[in-house]
Homo-oligomer: A and B are copies of this chain.
Amino acid sequence: MSPAPAKPQPRTRIQREKQDVILEAALDVFSVHGFRGATIDQIAEAAGMSKPNLLYYFPSKEAIHRQLLTGMLDLWLDPLRELDAGGAPIPELRSYLRRKLEMARDFPRESRLFANEMLQGAPHAIDVLEGELKVLVDEKAAIITGWMDEGKINRTDPYHLIFSIWATTQHYADFDVQVRAVLGKDRGGDGRFEDAARYLENLFMDGLRPKA
C-alpha cells in the first residue's frame, strides 16, 4: 500500500550512475550555452546516449538544469559559510579569498553556469538570491562590520567587499578565455592562479597606494 514516492531518489545503482553522467554532460553544455542555448540532443550526445534515453532519466531539460543549479548553489556558498566570527579578521578574509579562488580554479563550469543564470536575470534562482543568499550575506556582513568596529580592518562597505571578492575570483573562471588571451602563452599557463592569488592578496590587504 506504500504509494511509492513520486520520483525523489534514484533506486538502482545504474540509475544513479547514468544520472551523474547526464548531469556531468549537462554541466558542460549549459555552462557554455546557457539554458536556452543548450539542446537536449547536445547533452545526450555529450553523455553518450540517445535523446529518448536521456529523457528516461530526467523528465525534461528544465529538470536537469534545476537540479544542476540547486545542487551547485550549495557548493558555491560553502566558502562564505565558513567565514568565522571567532577567527582573526585578516586571516579569515584572506582564507575566504583563497578558497573562493580555488573554487574558480577547480569548478569553472559551475561558475559559468551560475554566471549564465545571472546574465539572464536569474529566472530560476531569484528566490534563492533574495532568500538564503541574502540572509547569509547579511549575517556575514554583520560579522565584518563587527571587525571594523573593533578596528581590526579598515572601515568600508561589507556588502561591496563581498561583491568584490566574488567578482575578482569568479572572473578567472568566467572570463578565462580573456585572461589566457591577454596573458599570452607564456604567462597564461597553470601558474596564472597562483599569480592571481598573490596579486589579490596584496590588493585586498594593502591596496595600491604606498603607505605614507
Task: List the interface of chain A (C-beta within 8 A of B).
Answer: 31-38, 90, 93, 112, 115-116, 118-122, 126, 129-130, 133-134, 137, 151-154, 156-157, 159-164, 166-168, 170-172, 174-179, 181-184, 187, 195-196, 198-200, 202-212
Contacts and interface: CB of A to CB of B under 8 A. Distances in A.
Contact of A134 (B90, B93, B182, B195): B182
Which 5 pairs from chain A and chain B are nearest by CB?
A36-B37, A167-B171, A207-B207, A160-B199, A129-B181
Contacts of A210: 151-154
Nearest to A179: B163
Contacts of A174: 115, 118-119
B159 A182 contact: yes
B32 A157 contact: no
Given A93-B208, A116-B116, A133-B178, 18 more contacts: A36-B37, A37-B37, A115-B119, A115-B175, A118-B174, A119-B119, A154-B208, A156-B202, A160-B195, A161-B208, A163-B168, A163-B172, A164-B199, A167-B167, A167-B170, A168-B168, A203-B204, A211-B211
A134 to B, nearest CB: 5
